[in-house]
Chain A
């Protein structure tokens, strides 16, 4: 593996880690789609700042983009507070306008600006190794690695430094306000952080795939954890894992790196969605079937208990009666009887079923008549 590939992999991991860090709070504050809106609107800031300084590497670009991101959030909230439109419509109206204006500006001044439409959507992570930073004749590695590394440090610093404040404002805004923290300031600080991260990641993975890296790893982590610290750790892990897997997938079938990273976040989410021990689809399916079986076995015991010692016992307490009386399928009746036999609740002689003493006790316990 050459040094170029290593640069790309390291950059991908840094991007994924910083996106996951702010994404955790977006998921918890139910602002997931704000990341979509911000990542689209930062482009306007980049384009406008570019017209000012005519340099794509200038830090002014990051500043301008951050300001437009926060401004977009402000405009959206203004629109919501005017009560003319609902929250979702307000979010969905402002950012497409910002994004459209910037695309049109790029279209019109295509000759002057080294940004084309595809780069906006896909990013240029593959070109990372070609733009190197050199100071006093020393080769210091790719520029974007330095920029993104700085943004990652900023993210880590913010999350660690304001851990308590962020936690409180996220989970109980009212209490935070009452205790004298400023939830609104924290909110806008977080929005600025998301904007900065979006600008940095924008260059590497493009406008839409930033959303994948910000939302999907924290969402996967959310399904696996009950503590904020665990969620943060897990989502960074998921982010890095999916960028590594994405890079190798892109490398071996020769497709877009950013796209593959997004697909891998989705694949990991799919795994968690199915196999999560607390919220997974599989565990819910199994739990449902177990409950159904247990409930049906109880029904069986009550049926046997009710008719025990009566005249109709010989016809009622039979296996074939279950299919008729309980409207169970033959197969399901078999499963239930097997379950009851296995737990020692009943005895079976050919078609005839009878309760054991343990089964009788159990039936009395669950029976409504007993209470």
Chain B
């Protein structure tokens, strides 16, 4: 089977190239969407594009890829305009406007789809694949359209790199510098719409939004540099696209869209847990280390306090007298200290300093209470 997996054939080549293009374009633009906190706009645009596809089909009565793309782009763009209008003219918030546009546009799309299904056209069958995506319906002519749009996206990102960077981080500063912020905002949103529409056939309307968030969310964990984030997110998108399509190609009945989303979500989970510096696992380990260190130090300080009341600083005390932090944590801290030979435990519940521990406690006190001694 593995020989078969990598055996090149024409259909697979087309599908892989499609996944490649989709991954790159959505990965690149998702960084900007996530940074500008417009992640959910992707959800709105992809749903809003659906009636555009069905209307374009009704208009042409054929599945011409360019026509469908243009229909989707126009209606996705209209959706964002409605969002802006609702937020601007009423006191409703962004999320309400998102919900309204998303669901009503999608409803319209469903109505049109059910209308198309009554018509006698022979090509109508493929329209369903826009809902959950289907790799197998990608044709060579779709690929050309996708490739052209992807190239446009890449060229614009390179040309307007500086402007988009500024737009993502500090639009107010940008405005003060005299850049046409509104126009650039429109341009970036337009590119976002294009990237979303590109992926619709493969990932589907319903799940395309995840592709506009997940690659960037994963990439963001590994680096804090915008250039690297964008590149890495493009790479993650591409990888998820290719792996997801391969799976759905070789396991019968699997929809492509959900498969790609599952793969890209796994990337996010792994990145969230294991990425250096920001990864949650490292964070937990570090927190545990700091916490036990602080506990051990506080035990040492308590023992020092006790030792000052005795003539013999190495006198042993009961654990219950020493601990204010509860018996369990105190015992763990003491065992750790014993392992490092700072304390000794001659019998049962009695604990006392070793010579090394006494010195360390005194050093600790010196650093902690510097001011008391007039340093």
- Would A88 and B38 count as touching, CB distance under 8 A? yes
Q: Point out the residue from B86, B100, B107, B132 that lies within 8 Å of A209, measured CB to CB.
A: B107
Contacts of B93 in A (CB 8 A): 30, 32
- Among A86, A254, A259, contact of B107 (Cβ-Cβ < 8 Å): A259
Would A103 and B43 count as touching, CB distance under 8 A?
Answer: no
Report if B173 contacts A (CB, 8 A): no
The verdict on A256 contacting B86 (CB below 8 Å), with A93-B268, A212-B107, A266-B108 known, is: no
B:215-236 near A, CB below 8 Å: 216-217, 220-221
Interface residue from A97, A121, A209 paired with B265 (Cβ < 8 Å): A97
| Given pairs A84-B278, A259-B107, A273-B86, 17 additional interface contacts (CB within 8 A) | A36-B102, A85-B34, A92-B39, A92-B213, A100-B262, A100-B265, A121-B131, A121-B206, A208-B106, A212-B106, A214-B99, A223-B91, A256-B110, A259-B113, A262-B110, A269-B100, A279-B89
Min CB distance B195 to A, Å, is 15
Once the chains bind, are A89 and B217 in contact (CB under 8 Å)? Answer: yes
- Taken residue by residue from 105 to 137, chain A's Cβ proximity to chain B (1 for < 8 Å, 0 otherwise) reads as 001101000000110011000000000000000
Contact between B280 and A117, CB atoms less than 8 A apart: no
How far, in angstroms, from A52 to B37 measured CA to CA in the complex?
A: 39
Interface check A243, CB cutoff 8 A = no
- The A325-344 residues at the B interface (CB cut-off 8 A) are none
Nearest Cβ distance between residue B241 and chain A, in whole angstroms? 14
Assembly CA distance A275 to B308 (angstroms): 82
How many Å from the CB of B236 to the closest CB on chain A? 13
CB of B259 within 8 A of chain A?
yes
- A92-B262 contact given A30-B93, A259-B111, CB 8 Å threshold: no
Contact A263 B107 (CB under 8 A): yes
B255-A103 in contact (CB<8A): yes
Bound complex: CA A82 to CA B217 (Å): 13
CB distance from A296 to the nearest CB of B (A): 24
* Distance in angstroms between the alpha carbons of A118 and B117 in the assembled complex: 13
Number of B residues near A (Cβ < 8 Å) is: 63
Q: Mark B248-273, 1 if CB is under 8 A from A, else 0.
A: 00010111011101100100100010
Nearest-CB residue, chain A, relative to B93: A30
A91 at the interface (CB under 8 A from B): yes
- A82-B272, A117-B131, A216-B104 known; A30 and B253 CB under 8 Å? no
Total contacts A-B at CB 8 Å: 203
Are B43 and A36 in contact (CB-based, < 8 A)?
yes
Task: Check B141 for interface membership: any CB of A closer than 8 A.
Answer: no
Q: Is the CB of A222 within 8 A of B92?
A: yes
Contact status A91-B214, CB under 8 Å = no
Residue B115 is within 8 A (CB to CB) of chain A in the complex: yes
Is the pair B254, A89 in contact by a Cβ cutoff of 8 Å? no
Q: Is B128 an interface residue (CB 8 A)?
A: yes
Interface residues on A, range: 35 or more
Interface of B is mostly: helix
A residues near B216, Cβ cutoff 8 Å: 89
A212 / chain B contacts, CB cutoff of 8 Å: 103-104, 106-107
CB <8 Å contact, A92 and B106: no
Residues of A within 8 A of B38 (CB): 88
Q: Is B90 an interface residue (CB 8 A)?
A: yes
Query: B103, A209: Cβ atoms under 8 Å?
Result: yes
- Name the residue on B nearest A33 (C-beta): B95
Q: With A84-B272, A93-B217 as known contacts, state yes or no: A256 contacts B258, CB within 8 Å.
A: no
Flag if A36 contacts B99 (CB, 8 Å).
yes
Contact A89 B118 (CB under 8 A): no
Option from B98, B112, B261 in Cβ contact (under 8 Å) with A100: B261
Would you list 20 pairs from A and B whose C-beta atoms are within 8 A, ordered by A residue?
Answer: A35-B99, A88-B37, A92-B43, A93-B265, A96-B210, A97-B261, A103-B255, A103-B258, A108-B251, A118-B128, A207-B206, A208-B103, A208-B107, A209-B106, A211-B102, A216-B99, A254-B118, A255-B114, A255-B115, A262-B104
B99 lies within 8 A of A104 (CB): no
Give the residue of A27, A91, A103, A215 whose beta carbon is less than 8 angstroms from that of B103.
A215
Contacts of B112 in A (CB 8 A): 255
> Is A360 on the interface with B (CB-CB < 8 A)?
no
Contact B100 A219 (CB under 8 A): yes
* Chain B 44-83: CB-based contact to A (< 8 A → 1; otherwise 0): 0001000000000000000000000000000000000000
Most B Cβ at <10 Å: residue of A30, A92, A99? A92
Q: Does chain B have a CB within 8 A of A228?
A: no
Give the residue of B92, B220, B258, B272 whose beta carbon is less than 8 angstroms from that of A101. Answer: B258
Do A92 and B114 touch (CB < 8 A)?
A: no
The 4 closest A-B pairs by CB, nearest first: A262-B107, A266-B104, A259-B110, A212-B103
- Chain A nearest CB, measured from B27 CB (Å): 14
- Tell me the complex Cα distance, A284–B259, Å: 48
- The answer for the CA separation of A223 and B254 in the assembled complex, in Å, is 44
Chain A min CB distance to B254 (Å): 5
The CA of A258 and the CA of B109, in the complex, are separated in Å by 11
- A73-90 interface code vs B (CB 8 A; 1 in, 0 out): 000000000101111110
Quick one: given A121-B131, A256-B114, A263-B111, are A33 and B99 in contact (CB under 8 Å)?
yes
B199 lies within 8 A of chain A by Cβ:
no
Cα of A265 to Cα of B261 in the assembled complex, Å: 30
Whole-angstrom distance between the alpha carbons of A214 and B100 in the complex? 9
Q: Does B96 contact A (CB under 8 A)?
A: yes
B42 at the interface (CB under 8 A from A): yes
Q: Are A279 and B90 in contact (CB under 8 A)?
A: yes
Is A97 touching B40 in the complex (CB atoms < 8 A)?
no
| In-complex Cβ contact of B92 among A97, A211, A219, A255 (8 A) | A219
Tell me, rounded to whole Å, the shortest Cβ–Cβ distance linking A297 to chain B: 26
Residue of B90, B110, B272 with most partner-chain A CB within 10 A: B110
A82 CA to B132 CA in the complex, in Å? 31
The complex places the Cα of A104 from the Cα of B259 at a distance, in Å, of: 7
Given contacts A100-B258, A222-B92, contact A33 B98 (CB under 8 A): yes
**B-contact 0/1 string along A26-57, CB 8 Å cutoff:** 01001111011000000000000000000000
* Contact status B100-A281, CB under 8 Å: no
Q: Which residues of B lie under 8 Å from residue A122 when comparing CB positions?
A: 110, 114
Residue of A nearest to B34 (CB): A89
Contacts of A87 in B (CB 8 A): 37
Chain B positions 268-309 with a Cβ under 8 Å from a chain A Cβ? 268, 272, 278, 280
Q: A208-B206, A269-B104 are in contact. Are A32 and B110 (CB under 8 A)?
A: no
A84 to B273, CA, bound (A): 10
